[in-house]
Structure formats: structure tokens, C-alpha cells
Amino acid sequence: MSALSIIFLGTSGAVPSAGRYLSCTVCVREGELLFFDCGEGAQFQVLKHKMGLNRKTKIFVTHLHADHVLGIPGLLHTMKLLGRTKDIQIFGPEGIKLLIEAFSEVTHLDPPFKIEINEIKNPEENPVIYETEEYHVEVAPLDHGETPCFAYALVEKPKPGKFNVERAKELGIPEGRLWGMLQKGLSVKVSGKTINSKDVLGPPKPSRKLVFCGDTRPVKSLAEFAKDATTLVHEATYKDEHKNKAREYFHSTASEAATIAKEARVKILLLTHFSSRYQDEDLDQLLSEAKEVFEKTILAQDDMVIRIPLDDGKKFKIEYL
């Protein structure tokens, strides 16, 4: 099972605040960077922390509000100037293509790498928007008023358990092609006898599911979408005191986010996207309101890294860049 981290590059909501850039959360998986939103200033953080501009990279945009997308053009520009050669893929709601293309045309970006832009249409009918041999990414609609907004889930595929070499030899299975088939979960025939993969494989290795949400009112359907997720990154723009504002502007309070996390039975809840009006003591209050509902809640900070454990028995580790 591969190393997996979530890095928060920007955790302020709508307007930047002291020490907090605009929305940008990066999942690092097997050396690949998966951006979930990319607010203005993302390139400053990527450069400062030497995260690498020529790595395999994808950008998933939850919705087309300025504070979630304006970092993309500058990141692409700097990637070009600093010699990126690898193609890059961008996923987002309808309109993302016009935004990136208008910018590229007007500023003569002309990068030496391909920018593949995928607009997400009919997410209810086609929730899986990307798939590799190791994971898939699926989307679910959220409720941010008139603005289409998504939650993304990165779901790892279950991997077969450890191959028991001694047992395979006992069963008289010759080393080579048949071992490979069994390791992939297939059955084989040896001397007319069928051997199932489970006869020689240990229990499947745990797969992980990470959910990243955009701006939203708390939505019931998200609890199902995020069911049993390893991590849920959810906005918490307001504390309970301002729940009317949360309703008015189609955002969530921390305790509303925690209620979803509890219902979904996620391992940990990571709160981000805080109103820039809040001072440290407000955020302490916001966190404690969430913890009253769901204890395993972490308040994201810029530069915070969450190292996801290989399996459920181990602890999440918090580090800083």
C-alpha cells in the first residue's frame, strides 16, 4: 500500500486572512499530486515548500468561485517557465474550460505540455470521472446555492493479500504464470483441480477513501457518499453563533460538518475554509463545537500535513511543512 498524505496549502474562506491562503488541499499519493481546488497563491506555496512542478499532477475544482480557482493560471504559467514537460489534467464544473482557455489565449501561455480540461457533466449518471489501475475518483453534487459544486472521493481499489508461497508449493502449483494469475485474484486449474486465489492469498490489503468537499450547506446525501471514508475534508466557514449566515450564504457550520462526519462514520474529519473574520479564539470555539458532535475532528492549518496510515490499526500523523 502506497504512502498517502493530505497537505493543506490554503485554508481561508472567500478572503485570505493572516497566515491563511485561499482554498487549496493537495493529496500526495505515490508521488502524484492531486489538487482539490487551487486558490490564488497556490504557486507561492508549491514553490516555497519545493513540492515539485514537474510531477504527475491533477487538479480537481469543486466549484467556480474565484477563491477556489484563481491559483490555476499562475501555477500553469510558473510550471511552464520552470520547465514542466508532463501533461496536466484539470477537472471541474462547466465553465472551467472557458476560464483556462481565455487566460491561456490572452496571456499567450503556449506551454510545452498538454493541458487536458475535463468538464463534469451529469455527475449523477456518471459519477466516476477518472480511473487508474489503483484508484478511481468519483463526484457527488453539493448544495452551494445556484453555483454547481462537487464533492470528490478518491477511492483506492482493494489490493489482494499477501501470496503464500509455501502453500502454493504444497498445492503443487508451478511457479510462473499461474502464480501471477492467483495473485491477481483469478482461479487456476492444476492437474484438473481448481484452485481459488483465496486458497493462497492472505486477507485483502485495506484500501482507503478520501473525500474532499467544496463549499456547501450540509447535505444528507454526502453522508452516504462519504460512508466509511478514511478522511472527510469539509468546509466549516462558520461557528454555531453564525449559523444564519451559513444558511444565507450556502455554507456550513463546524457542527453541521461534524454531523455529516458522524453519520458517514468516517475515520477523521478535517475542517477547512474558515471565515476570515475569525481570530484564533473563534476557531478554538468552532473546533470544540465540532468535537462535541464528532470527536475525531482536526482543524486544518496552512502547511499542515496529515499522513494517512496504511491500515485502520495505525494512527494518523500530523506534521507541518
Q: How far is the CB of 33 from its own copies (least distance, A)?
A: 18
H or E element at residue 235: strand 231-235
Q: State the binding string over 180-219 for its own copies (x if CB under 8 A, else -).
A: ----------------------------------------
* Window of 106-114, 233-241, 263-271, 289-297 that interacts with its own copies by CB under 8 A: 106-114
Contact indicator for 140, 127 with CB cutoff of 8 Å: yes
Closest distance of CB 214 from its own copies, Å: 13
Residue from 81, 165, 186, 318 in contact with its own copies (CB under 8 A):
81
Determine the residue type at 136. Answer: H
Q: Decide if residue 71 touches its own copies (CB under 8 A).
A: yes
* Alpha-carbon gap, residue 12 to 35, rounded angstroms: 16
Of the candidate residues 32, 49, 51, 78, the single one contacting its own copies (CB under 8 A): 78
| 65 is an interface residue for its own copies by CB under 8 A | yes
C-alpha distance from residue 73 to each of 41, 58, 70, 105, 281 (Å): 10, 14, 7, 11, 35
Query: Of 1, 5, 32, 44, which lies in the binding site for its own copies, with binding defined by CB under 8 A?
Result: 44
Question: Contacting its own copies (CB under 8 A), which of 95, 111, 206, 309?
Answer: 95
Q: Compute the least distance from the CB of residue 188 to its own copies, in Å.
A: 54
Query: How many CA atoms lie less than 13 Å away from 142 in the CB half-sphere?
Result: 28
| Min CB(312)–its own copies separation in Å | 40
Calculate the alpha carbon distances from 35 to 46, 53, 76, 204 in Å: 11, 13, 13, 29
Angle between helices 71-81 and 96-106 in degrees, nearest 10: 50
User: How far is it, in rounded angstroms, from Cα 259 to Cα 275?
Assistant: 20
| Window 139-168: contact mask with its own copies (x via CB under 8 A) | -------xx---------------------
- Measure the N-to-C terminal CA separation of the chain; round to a whole number of Å: 23
Q: Give 293's contacts (C-beta < 8 A, 6+ positions apart).
A: 255, 258, 259, 261, 262
Check binding of 41 to its own copies (CB under 8 A).
Answer: yes
Residue from the set 66, 165, 186, 318 that interacts with its own copies by CB under 8 A: 66
* Footprint of its own copies on 4-23 (CB under 8 A): 14-16, 18, 21-22
Lay out the sheet containing 24-29: strands in order across. 115-119, 88-92, 57-60, 32-36, 24-29, 4-10, 304-307, 317-320
Can residue 128 be called a binding residue for its own copies (CB under 8 A)? no
Nearest residue to 46 via CA among 77, 17, 1: 77
| Type of residue numbered 4 | L
User: Which position among 1, 49, 89, 103 is part of the footprint of its own copies (CB under 8 A)?
Assistant: 103
- Nearest residue (CB) to its own copies, 47 versus 181: 47
Residue selected from 1, 70, 178, 181 as contacting its own copies according to rule CB under 8 A? 70
* Shortest distance in whole angstroms from residue 241 CB to its own copies: 20
Q: Is 303 in the site for its own copies (CB under 8 A)?
A: no
Catalytic site includes residue 311:
no
Number of helices (H), then strands (E), in the chain:
10, 19
Q: What does the binding site for its own copies look like in residue numbers (CB under 8 A)?
A: 14-16, 18, 21-22, 40-41, 43-44, 47-48, 64-67, 69-71, 73-74, 77-78, 81-82, 95-96, 98-99, 102-103, 105-109, 146-147
Q: Which residues are catalytically annotated? A: 67
